Amino acid sequence: MGFLLLSGGTFAIVAQPPDLPPPNILWVSSEDNGPHLGAYGDDYATTPNLDRLAARGLLYRNAWSTVPVCAPARTTIISGLYPASTGAQHMRSQSRLPDGFRFFPQYLREAGYYVTNNAKEDYNLEKPGGQGAVWHESSREAHWRNRPDGTPFFAVFNYTVTHESQIRRRPHTQVHDPAAVRVPAYHPDTPEVRQDWAQYYDKLTEMDALVGERLAELEAAGLADDTIIFYWADHGPGLPRGKRTALPTGLHVPLIVSVPEKYRHLAPADYEAGGSTDRLVGFIDFAPTMLSLAGIEPPRHLQGRAFLGAHEAEPNEFLFGFSDRMDERYDLVRSVRDQRYLYARNFLIDRPYGQRLSYQMETPTTRVWLRLFQAGKLNEAQSVFWREKPSEELYDLENDLDLVNNLAGSAEHEAERERLAAALRRQLLTIRDLSFLPEGEMHRRAADMGGVPWTYGQGGYQIERVLPAAELATDRSRWGSGDIERLTRMLGDPDSAVRAWAAIGLRTQGEEAVRSAGAALRGALDDPSPPVRILAAEALGRFGEERDLAPAVELLLASASITENDFFDALLALNALDYLPPSVLGGADAQGWRDRVSGLPSEVEGLDRRFRNYVPRLLEAIRLDLDKAP
């Protein structure tokens, strides 16, 4: 059998060794769990099947999800591109690749593989070529058994038993003892937290049994010696400060790869059965690696590096993490790690990690943790999640397991901070990170250009001007009177993204900055860009003079209607309303504003089902604030 290389419309053949058929590739994945397995040294875990797989395969100690939530993480895997390059970075958004780009199973399919997915997709990108063009089968019945005789397969089986929703499901018959669980330093030690963590380990054991059944099925079919096996999880645990957090607690995942003896030529040089490696690998590397295993040279536009196969690349020096809108809440965090340290840059620093995100609040740990914070009963390490974020974070991954000692301000670690910050900045510019545009603005600009977000990012996006504006607006170490003046001038910039960051920067600095720039912010209420108007209104509504409050609230209420505005602009306005202090919402026109909020539409005909819960959740949050208003 030959193997197709497809890149830029050209084809090439890469041969296997004589008389050796191409390998089958089996993926077994689980959801919402970090490397809390016996094979990774976790003595509390009961995972015998995965431990046995690791005993005959290679365990990756530094595997990285890239995004700490399912849809953009899976979008990274399937496309081989960072979602922030394709406009697919926000949770359950929808974007499209440029013509000629494809999902990696399509390349395998064209090379003669039978490709199946059982069953989760959850991509933030439209399928190139439409439904049926990516997988031969994608359903709960999809299976490698259905392939034509003699055809190699690439098969995915995904297990949801470890998902966030299962950790909090009650009643539950406990197996692991909550009294024996290790509570991380950032969580309060309460019965609710211990039960959630113990139930998480119970679910890992259930998942492990399912993986064992899948591996036994392969053995029984006599295919174990012909199949390269991957086990991985899609991101960190479904507990607060795990999932959705662009730190190792949300990004560090298990990865075990087993390569049969006959295909050891496709394994890396450090492969040893039962061994482990510190090589840095991320989900961005999965697509080129699968192509490399099949003998296909990865297309040049892919942004990762193959870590196995005929086209294995040089190891990564860094891994990068991304966190953007999670369901109804906006955030913007970027992180980078090497072998020893992790650096994170926060760009919405007046939004805490622990935003009131409805789905996350269903977990008992989240609720008790917030309640104790509000009561002032937490220590410093436990309180950080609920406070405004620092501009920068730096953690020693060897000596700070729970990431509670931020070294960003340490003179001793200044060189590491500068090195990693520079690497992150280079990466954001290289991949043309589109998240520095408001979400609605990103889609409008791409449409106005007649293309998709990727093509706009490559051809019209002035990130070299926009990124410095975001850095200036959100770097606490540079704040001063000169910065307020610069941010005020930026409100007149010709690029609406720069103007948006100016409004964010003034809002973030608080009352002194907003009142100093009051005239410019009032002028921005008439800006042609809806996000600039909304961001200026939030700044004035939170920190402006008395005369600013009513116009700010009126603009936000008008912008929050999903029947009258672009959906993403309305989502931005609803978030802004929720951050207004109760004293503003309880002003002279309080009853009128209550009535206006109650009258805001929560549904609109034709709204994508992915977004249907977002507006009702935000409206409920705003009503809770109104109930607290004087």
Query: What are the catalytic residues?
Result: 70
Q: How many residues does the chain have?
A: 630
In the numeric block, the tokens 């410093």 are attached to: 380
**Closest by alpha carbon to 439, among 560, 327, 335, 567?**
567
> How would DSSP label each residue in 513-546?
HHHHTHHHHHHHTT-SSHHHHHHHHHHHHHHS-H
Please give the structure tokens belonging to residue 197.
């963590």
Please give the structure tokens belonging to residue 256.
């075990």
Please give the structure tokens belonging to residue 606.
């034709």
* β pairing state of 227-233 and 24-30: parallel
Q: Are 587 and 626 in contact (CB under 8 A)?
A: no
> How would DSSP label each residue in 285-352?
GHHHHHHHHTTPPPPTT--S---SSTT--PPPS-EEEEE--BTTB---EEEEE-SSEEEEEES-TTS-
Q: Are 26 and 258 in contact (CB under 8 A)?
A: no
In SS3 terms, 126-161 reads as CCCCCCCCCCCEECCCCCHHHCCCCCCEEEEEEECC
Provide the residue type at 510 as one letter.
Answer: G
Rounded to 5 degrees, φ, ψ at 561 are -80, 120
